[in-house]
């Protein structure tokens, strides 16, 4: 899947807002606010349940990685997530 198409799909899920559980949260981290080198994906089956977490790292900007963005779309679809939350911006690590 082309990176722009994957990013649009993720944005569509995020824009839909909270529609219940299961829920996926996406957070981007990096050394600066310009380049996200890590993505943390958290999955929560229901409120109060244990959070499952997966991390993806990249030497370049993960937001522009076709492989990572396509993987995020696949994770969302395979988890049958009702809600997708994305933390705005890049958190500095």
| DSSP-assigned beta bridge partners for residue 30 | 92
Q: What is the pLDDT of residues 12-21, one digit of tens each?
A: 999 999 999 9
Provide the whole-model pTM: 0.92
3-92: what fold? 3.30.720
- What are the DSSP E strand ranges found in the chain? 23-30, 38-44, 52-57, 83-92
- pLDDT at position 57: 96
Residues 46 and 59: their CA atoms lie apart, in Å, by 33
Q: Is the peptide bond before 22 cis (omega within 30 degrees of 0)?
A: yes
CA torsion sign for 64, 14, 24, 32 is: positive
What is the DSSP code (8-state) at residue 31?
A: S
Q: Where are the domains of the chain?
A: 3-92
- pLDDT at position 79: 95
Q: What is the pLDDT of residues 29-87, one digit of tens each?
A: 999 999 999 999 999 999 999 999 999 999 999 999 999 999 999 999 999 999 999 99
């Amino acid at each position: 899947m082309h990176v722009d198409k994957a990013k649009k799909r993720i944005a569509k899920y995020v824009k839909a807002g909270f529609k219940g559980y299961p829920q996926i949260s996406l957070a981007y981290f990096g050394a600066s606010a310009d380049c996200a080198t890590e993505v943390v994906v958290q999955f929560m089956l229901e409120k109060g349940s244990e959070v499952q977490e997966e991390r993806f790292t990249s030497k370049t900007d993960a937001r522009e990685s076709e492989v990572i963005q396509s993987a995020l779309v696949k994770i969302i679809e395979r988890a049958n997530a009702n809600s997708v939350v994305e933390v705005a911006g890049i958190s500095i690590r």
